[in-house]
Structure 1
Amino acid sequence: MRSWLTGPADLESLVQQTVDDGFDGIEGPIPQDIQQRQLLRRLLQDHGLVFIAEATTGIDPDNTKDWWIPEPTRSTGEHLDDLKWAVDHANEIGAMFVSTMCGYDAWSWQQNVDFFGRALELEQTSGITISFETHRSRSLYNPWTTRDLLNQFPAMKITCDFSHWCVVCERLLDTEWPILELCAERAHHVQCRVGYAQHAQVADPRAPESQEALEAHERWWSLIWQQQQQRGMAKTTMMPEFLYDGYMHTLPYTGKPVADVWEITCWMADRQRQRFSKQGYC
């Protein structure tokens, strides 16, 4: 797994920014270095922050370009080994749960069944909750495969990032409402990026031209909150995930971003806290 941490100073700065901007926790990969893991745990405890461990399976750790894309030659067993590493170290950090970008979009149905069956066995034996993310290039890259796997595995929980499906389906997802309802019933965590038919991230969700896509995603997130409330979940988690890294639109020739990612991230967090509260979920 690729770490976003380059050293103790970087980690301390990240935690401090998280606190300063009013966030409740951090979602990211578990550091490979044991001293970094120990420092992260201490900082989280000192500041009262939660940690959601991110597991990215089947990648080449030495690849700095498109590092998140799974290697075609990696077997289901190798993907499972990567997931197991994260699960084994999640308690070391004090993680709430593991959210994993896993599998491969080119796998056969039987490969998917083999991987997710074994992953759910790992969840049961480890005692760590595993939430499987809907993401391009991964097994849950489209609504229909996800639907079939959820039906195959009643215990399977998902991290819902519907922005990816908007690109894969080339439309907003209200056309797939029964699948959205099923996803809401199994939703454990939400990543609230806003996508649309041609891109997994709108240039700026605050802009009027993004209103239709924003309102659509908020319908889907409200559906998830309703289902989580009906299931009696004591806590619900959401991460506003807006990135540069190819997601943010840029100007031709200069490559200058058209908006500030961190401003958008903070704006989205505030907006969804207000919506969650107004709709009576807290």
Structure 2
Amino acid sequence: MALQFFAPHWGNTLPFETFCANVREVGYDGIEMEAPIGTHQKAEFRRVLRENSLLFIGQYYQSFESNFTEHLRNYEYYLHNLIEENPVLINCQTGKDYFTFDQNCRLFACATRISAESGVKIIHETHRGKSLFSAHGTQQYLSHLPDLRICLDISHWCNVHESLLTDQSEALALAFSRTDHIHSRVGHPQGPQVNDPRAPEWSEALHTHLKWWDQVAEIHLQNATLLTITTEFGPAPYMPQSPYTQQPLANQWDINVFMMNLLKVRHGCL
């Protein structure tokens, strides 16, 4: 198994060049984010990544249209825009939880076609509000579409199912077998992100997630395949805030670097 670690651009407030230099300095292999639009912006984006020797995972999250025809058209547009940047893979928050099963399958089929045409792997994120918002719902799609591959952000399912998923073993096993990319955010039954995974009160949630990710890593180890991980703890309001002052309870960057190093040690990368 090869492991690569990616930093989320989500939440960054620094100039892009400074952000990328910091990412490389602390030991990430690349970044995950949306692709810029526009010739000049693209050229600058490529320059900064190249000069910092960083890989790129393309992120599609622009699932804003409720009209399915418009949604499908924009979905294809953004996927083609990401492909132009030669990503390691594209991670999509595909579909809507209120689209029909067949409508979401049409989106998956669109991604499969574009992936085949371009040679770029396209996977689909387990995310609230999207097609793969729940463990049991994802199980149905994975059973129906044997080539569907996913980004496992299991923190969302903890929140959706209001549990640490002890009663979802069959759905989890199938999901783990189809995972090519992980978002290593720690969720809990009442939310998609603990305030600080280093705090002892979150020990059960952290170690439950670590054991889930271990199972995915073991599959990739047995198959000698690449596993990518983005340490995707997010900014406020994903990051819980103090009342009135609205100050975040912990530092997003520090937590993500902690998670990267924790996982590197756990999997023998340090």
TM-score (norm 2): 0.90
How far apart are 1:257 and its partner, in Å?
1.3
1:40 alignment counterpart: 45
1:78 alignment counterpart: 70
- Matched residue type, 1:230: Q
Q: Is the 8 A contact 2:94 2:104 kept in 1?
A: no
The CA distance in 2 between the partners of 1:12 and 1:185, in whole Å, is 37
How far apart are 1:4 and its partner, in Å?
6.5
- Matched residue type, 2:227: T
2:238 alignment counterpart: 247
Extract structure 1 runs of 4+ deviating beyond 4 A: 3-7
2:81 alignment counterpart: 89
Q: Does 1:25 align with 2:24?
A: no
Q: Does 1:11 align with 2:16?
A: yes
1:105 alignment counterpart: 97
Q: Is the 8 A contact 1:140 1:146 kept in 2?
A: yes
Taking the TM superposition and a 5 Å limit, the aligned residue runs for 1:140-179 are 140-179=132-171
Which ranges in structure 1 are unaligned for 5 or more consecutive residues? 60-70
What's the CA shift string for 1:96-118, capped at 9, x where partnerless?
Answer: 11101120011122222222223
DSSP 3-state at the match of 1:175:
coil
DSSP 3-state at the match of 2:188:
coil
2:204 alignment counterpart: 212
Q: Pick from 95, 102, 108: which aligns with 1:116? A: 108
The CA distance in 1 between the partners of 2:12 and 2:242, in whole Å, is 29
- Matched residue type, 1:188: D
Q: Is the 8 A contact 2:10 2:235 kept in 1?
A: no
The CA distance in 2 between the partners of 1:148 and 1:47, in whole Å, is 41
Equivalent pairs, count: 262
The CA distance in 2 between the partners of 1:112 and 1:86, in whole Å, is 17
Residues 1:91 and 1:108: Cα distance change in structure 2 (over 3 Å): closer
What's the CA shift string for 1:6-50, capped at 9, x where partnerless?
Answer: 99x822122112112221100000012221211111222222211
Q: Pick from 194, 200, 206: which aligns with 2:186? A: 194
How far apart are 1:5 and its partner, in Å?
10
DSSP 3-state at the match of 1:174:
coil
Q: Is the 8 A contact 1:104 1:137 kept in 2?
A: yes
Greater RCO, CA 8 A, separation 6+: 2
Q: Does 1:49 align with 2:60?
A: no
Residues 1:5 and 1:163: Cα distance change in structure 2 (over 3 Å): closer
The CA distance in 2 between the partners of 1:183 and 1:5, in whole Å, is 28
The CA distance in 2 between the partners of 1:147 and 1:275, in whole Å, is 28
The CA distance in 2 between the partners of 1:159 and 1:6, in whole Å, is 22
- Matched residue type, 2:102: Q
The CA distance in 1 between the partners of 2:208 and 2:223, in whole Å, is 23
The CA distance in 1 between the partners of 2:264 and 2:230, in whole Å, is 11
RMSD between superposed Cα atoms in Å: 2.1
The CA distance in 2 between the partners of 1:115 and 1:262, in whole Å, is 33
> Please, which moves more after superposition, 146-155 or 16-25?
16-25
The CA distance in 1 between the partners of 2:110 and 2:231, in whole Å, is 30
Which ranges in structure 2 are unaligned for 5 or more consecutive residues? 1-8
Q: What is the aligned-residue identity percentage? A: 32
Residues 1:4 and 1:213: Cα distance change in structure 2 (over 3 Å): closer
DSSP 3-state at the match of 1:52:
strand
How far apart are 1:250 and its partner, in Å?
1.2
> Please, which moves more after superposition, 248-257 or 151-160?
248-257
How far apart are 1:79 and its partner, in Å?
3.1
2:254 alignment counterpart: 263
Residues 1:274 and 1:6: Cα distance change in structure 2 (over 3 Å): closer
How far apart are 1:232 and its partner, in Å?
2.4
1:126 alignment counterpart: 118
- Matched residue type, 2:192: A
TM-score (norm 1): 0.87
The CA distance in 2 between the partners of 1:6 and 1:268, in whole Å, is 17
